[in-house]
Structure 1
Amino acid sequence: MGDKMDPFGKLSPSAVNKPRTAADQVADLLRDAIVTGEIPAETILRQDDLAARFELSRMPVRDALRLLEAEGLVSIHPTRGAFVSRIDAKEAAEIYAIRALIERKALKLSFPHLTTAVLDRADAILLEIDHEQEVGHWGQLNRDFHMELYSLCGNSRLLMLIEQMHRTADRYVRLLLSNFDHRSQSQHEHRQILEACRKGDRSAALHLLKQHLEQGRRKLVKHGARETAG
Structure 2
Amino acid sequence: MNSPKAPGFAVRTVAEQAADALRHKIMSGELAEGSSLRQDALAAEFGISRIPLREALVQLEGEGLVRIIPHKGAVVSELSIDEISELFMLRGLLEPLLLKKSAPRLTAADFAELDTILAEYKQELHAQHSTRWGELNTRLHDVLLSRADQPRTMAIVATLLQQTDRYTRLQLSLSAESCRQAEEEHEELVRLCRSGEVKAAAALLKRHIEHACTDLERFILARRRAKS
Give the TM interval when normalised to the shorter protein.
Answer: 0.5 to 0.7
Partner of residue 89, structure 1: 81
Q: 2:104 aligned with 1:118, yes or no?
A: no
Q: Residues of 1 paired with 2:29 and 2:98: CA distance?
A: 27
Q: Residues of 2 paired with 1:200 and 1:185: CA distance?
A: 22
Partner of residue 69, structure 1: 26
Instruction: Give 1 or 2 for the bigger CA radius of gyration.
Output: 1
Alignment of 1:1-230 (within 5 A): 69-72=26-29, 74-75=32-33, 76-78=35-37, 87-132=79-124, 133=127, 134-181=129-176, 182-230=178-226
**Larger CA deviation: 130-139 vs 84-93:** 84-93
Contact 1:71 1:174 in 2 (8 A): no
Post-superposition Cα deviations, 1:150-178, rounded to whole Å, max 9, x if no partner, equal 00001111111111001110110110122
Percent of paired sites with the same residue: 31
- CA offset at residue 116 of structure 1? 2.2
SS at match of 2:169: helix
Post-superposition Cα deviations, 1:61-99, rounded to whole Å, max 9, x if no partner, equal xxxxx97732358234236x9x99853122111111000
Question: Structure 2: which 5+ runs fail to align?
Answer: 1-22, 42-74
What letter is aligned with 1:71?
S
Partner of residue 41, structure 1: none
SS at match of 2:164: helix
Distance 1:111 1:78, change over 3 A: closer
What letter is aligned with 2:200?
A
SS at match of 1:153: coil
Q: Residues of 2 paired with 1:71 and 1:173: CA distance?
A: 12
TM-score (norm 1): 0.65
Aligned residues: 163
What letter is aligned with 1:200?
G
RMSD: 2.4
Question: Structure 1: which 5+ runs fail to align?
Answer: 1-65
Contact 1:86 1:224 in 2 (8 A): no
What letter is aligned with 2:201?
A
Q: Residues of 1 paired with 2:24 and 2:150: CA distance?
A: 35
Contact 1:196 1:202 in 2 (8 A): yes
SS at match of 2:79: coil
Contact 1:71 1:175 in 2 (8 A): no
Q: Residues of 2 paired with 1:78 and 1:146: CA distance?
A: 31
Contact 1:104 1:210 in 2 (8 A): yes
Distance 1:188 1:217, change over 3 A: same
SS at match of 1:69: helix
Contact 1:139 1:173 in 2 (8 A): yes
Q: Residues of 1 paired with 2:94 and 2:24: CA distance?
A: 31
Q: Residues of 2 paired with 1:86 and 1:153: CA distance?
A: 34
Partner of residue 40, structure 1: none
